[in-house]
Structure 1
């Protein structure tokens, strides 16, 4: 009896091990399939958000420029950490809002778009109104604040960059969420996490490289080889031009992204922009003309919205002061 019981137990254990092996194989196949699906969805999401990532890169490079050379990478690192915190907040928030109150997504995005436009108009107004001020005569912002608290200036730069990153990250997360909306929840979480992590590493890795471009050039100039020195001279000459371009591109991106969000959220305005863009899409370069017209109209709408918000903020500030 005891022998029969032992044999039965061993048979049950063998069967259980077979079941475990089978279930492990099935789970591995499912995990592999899920990983493949996440990779495909992440690739599509990255392609869809590439334009916004370009704006994110220009904006953040412009935001962290102007600090002292030895503080550039610490500032980029501080903004990158803030960006990761933004993603930790945005990914679960986007999933929760999408599941419970999807109608909130567009108004919240429009609120962020209005803030971007306001910030862009405020920058333009500051440059125009203070154009003749002594500290703007070619001196970098950090030098202009040499007599003040540079730590406070740096902190304000980081805070501004993180605020801007929050809005751009929200749009990227929402675009990615729209791509995986019909996928299982586990795939949605995995895809959004991959996109959020990849965009943070990619954008701030590039920003770090851009702000240290001149240092790389000076390092190459100290090398003995003629090709290295030639490349170093080219980088040193290109670095200030690139930063000036990114400063302009960063401000323009505020209107392009913010205006695009606002136009997309107002159906009649969105249809009007599409109709106007379609009207100029003629000839072999029709697609290019359509893209340029759409972006131009989005930027104009963004500037108008930003001027309106700036006017309202100015009135409220005067009333509070009175």
Structure 2
């Protein structure tokens, strides 16, 4: 890693969802000359979302990909240097910190804002992938409203699945909850709430074989792996709630994270355990995972970085 091969930047932002672009907007307006690398999925998870109705400022709703184009254009207009490229390795052993892009180019930065997000876990069914955004969703809070007064199915057995099933039960006529084992992993209180909700029907020992429908979800085919019995349940929506995987692998060994890989930040801030390295959005938030909360934490990260650089005499 020869010095002449390393580009030096003031603020490096890794990731381009609502958190990354918002951090870029604030950092650019503060004249911090941010460089943002968009990652493997420019725009993040919202680029695979259809209608977004719960983000403030869009009274008629907006398509997820279009909204992320707006975010990007605003960040660029403020002066952020937005680039294609994937962070593939980091070296936080000394300042300035170094990040490798696309396994070849190294960038050195006075401060780093990590906004690499989290990816929903899926069942791996071709029909699930084909109908993603057309009745298939991994976020009940995001998309449940579109199924008001309809029947839906949800796969999962943990606290998140229980919470989302309860949320959907307030909107939908029936929630068919598909559980692979003969019991849930959710906490006792959450299980009790699910089982006490009249319009949540729980299917034990149940596998999802296929999501049915040509252009939209019309039904789900299930199989009881104890009895071998199969059935088709007519539904308009199919929600997958088997967890998320934070995109934090390259930071292992450098940054503190919980047992599932979410980056740990000092409460009330976006600071990680390494000074000058900040984390925002879904890579450090396993509770809310909303575009608006990600954008808010991106703002926080840019402000935290500005204060850090000013205190160090680098801004």
TM-score w.r.t. structure 2 length? 0.26
Between structures 1 and 2, the one with greater helix share: 1
- The structure showing larger relative contact order (alpha-carbon pairs under 8 Å, at least 6 residues apart) is 1
Structure 1 or 2: larger strand share? 2
Q: Which has the larger radius of gyration?
A: 1
